[in-house]
């Protein structure tokens, strides 16, 4: 018994020592990809400097030599009482270099104190962001014209390694949780310019036919996404940010 306990402690310490990132985050991403449409979701975001709560669509071709990149983001900065929504578009030029356009929406209320409905409309002619039905930004031009390839969609909670953007990391705010009450997708008909509802996920259970859980990371991210930080509880999808430091065990 003693040997197994000390073996467990040893393995936990080794795991912590060789962890890729200092924190853990949660992510879910779609099996399918879609071209255009409307995403609506009711969410309560994270509050705590350094952290972000997100929804975004993305398409790129890693390790294939294809330089195409298309990405549309909703990112709530958890610093400053979670009153900033960052709207981002990423595309690439012919050489594969990123071109980035960000507009920060500064609100007079916190997006972490209650649930709000976030809407992203993506059409061949415009991309628009809404909170509770109020349009916050509309983008046209080259960024929209670039988005001609179907994209998958993702939700995640993570920590940026750019404090000038998100603030210094507040470990006292951990564990921190992004709550997703429901998400709905409507397709876009180019002929009629109408949206048609296709599905709604109320997160009564984890729909493995629609979602996968992230177990990876990326440059500039201070978390490893782990499956246990994305889960269903009380009719919500919960994405958690946690400090992975193992507890100190004292044996007598």
**Token representation of residue 167:** 């603030």
**Token representation of residue 181:** 């009450």
E strand segments, 142-193 = 152-159, 176-189
Known catalytic residue: 71?
A: yes
**Token representation of residue 11:** 């393995």
Structure letter (DSSP) for residue 242: B
Active-site position among 27, 40, 71, 121: 71
Active-site position among 40, 75, 121, 222: 75
**Token representation of residue 151:** 């994209």
Known catalytic residue: 75?
A: yes
For 227-245, give one letter per residue: b (16+ CB within 10 A) or e: eebbbeeeebbbbbbbebe
Pick the closest to residue 192 from 141, 245, 123 (CA basis).
Answer: 123
Neighbouring C-alpha atoms within 13 Å toward the C-beta of 21: 22
Secondary-structure percent of the chain, ordered helix, strand, coil, rounded to 5:
15, 50, 35
Q: Where does residue 20 rank: exposed (0-12), middle (13-18), buried (19+ CB within 10 A)?
A: exposed
- The rounded Cα 55 to chain-centroid distance in angstroms is 4
Pick the closest to residue 146 from 62, 32, 35 (CA basis).
Answer: 35
Q: Give the Cα-Cα-Cα angle 33, 35, 40 (nearest 5 degrees).
A: 80
Residues assigned a catalytic role: 71, 75
């Amino acid at each position: 018994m003693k040997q197994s306990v000390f073996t467990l402690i040893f393995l936990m310490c080794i795991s912590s020592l060789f962890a890729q990132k200092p924190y853990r985050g949660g992510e879910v991403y779609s099996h399918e990809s879609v071209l255009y449409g409307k995403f609506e979701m009711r969410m309560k975001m994270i509050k705590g400097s350094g952290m972000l709560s997100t929804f975004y669509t993305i398409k790129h071709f890693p390790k294939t030599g294809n330089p195409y990149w298309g990405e549309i983001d909703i990112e709530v900065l958890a610093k400053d009482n979670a009153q900033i929504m960052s709207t981002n578009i990423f595309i690439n030029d012919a050489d594969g270099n990123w071109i980035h356009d960000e507009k920060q929406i500064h609100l007079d209320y916190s997006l972490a104190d209650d649930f709000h409905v976030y809407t992203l409309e993506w059409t061949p002619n415009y991309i628009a962001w809404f909170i509770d039905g109020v349009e916050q930004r509309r983008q046209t031009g080259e960024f929209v014209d670039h988005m001609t390839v179907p994209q998958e969609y993702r939700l995640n909670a993570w920590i940026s390694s750019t404090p000038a953007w998100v603030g210094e990391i507040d470990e006292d705010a951990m564990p921190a949780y992004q709550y997703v009450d429901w998400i709905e997708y409507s397709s876009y008909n180019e002929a009629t310019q109408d949206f048609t509802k296709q599905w709604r996920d109320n997160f009564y259970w984890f729909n493995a036919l629609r979602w996968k859980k992230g177990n990876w990371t990326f440059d500039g991210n201070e978390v490893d996404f782990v499956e246990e930080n994305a889960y269903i509880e009380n009719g919500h999808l919960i994405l958690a940010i946690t400090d992975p430091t193992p507890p100190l065990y004292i044996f007598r």
